[in-house]
Amino acid sequence: MIRKLQAVALDCADPVRLAEFYADLLGGRVVANPEDPGWVEVHGFEGTPLACQRVDGYRPPEWPGQERPQQIHLDFDVDDLDGEEKRALALGATVLERTDQLRPGVNWRIYADPAGHPFCLCLH
């Protein structure tokens, strides 16, 4: 039987840069392995650790298109959507869609991390 989800791994061109982004976003810390610079983890926040792995020729997903589909995205609970958006953008995220402003009753916004992976900030 599987004990737990060990990590969620994100492909990217620069694992250190992506790990630093998520460590800053989540209040975690970067854990690098000097023997494998192509794999960098983010620990020290509530939830499953994130891993960032270098992929040669990495091509970011295109959102919302499907030529290069997202295949995975991360959802993060926040208490202050506007405040956390400002913080995410200052860390290097880009806005893909402010869904809460387009559809009544929706409580999330969609962003891309510095490597192009979509993620959502969800007001809870």
Judgement on whether residues 119 and 104 belong to the same structural domain of the protein: yes
Domain of 72, CATH number, reads 3.10.180.10
CA atoms within 13 A on the CB side of 25: 29
53 bridge partner residues: 11, 39
Tell me the per-residue pLDDT of 39-85, one tens digit each, with 9 for 90 and over: 999 999 999 999 999 999 999 998 888 888 888 889 999 999 999 99
Judgement on whether residues 67 and 92 belong to the same structural domain of the protein: yes
- Please tell me the pTM assigned to this model: 0.88
What pLDDT, on the 0 to 100 scale, is given for residue 121? 95
Domain count, the chain: 2
What pLDDT, on the 0 to 100 scale, is given for residue 115? 95
What pLDDT, on the 0 to 100 scale, is given for residue 63? 87
Judgement on whether residues 110 and 64 belong to the same structural domain of the protein: yes
CA distance 76 to 35: 31
Please return the burial class of 117, using the count of CB atoms within 10 Å of its CB with bins 0-12, 13-18 and 19+: buried
Range of the domain at 11: 1-57
Specify the pairing of strand 50-54 against strand 8-12. parallel
Chain position carrying tokens 């599987």: 2
User: Per-residue pLDDT for 102 more than 90?
Assistant: yes
Chain position carrying tokens 């880009």: 94
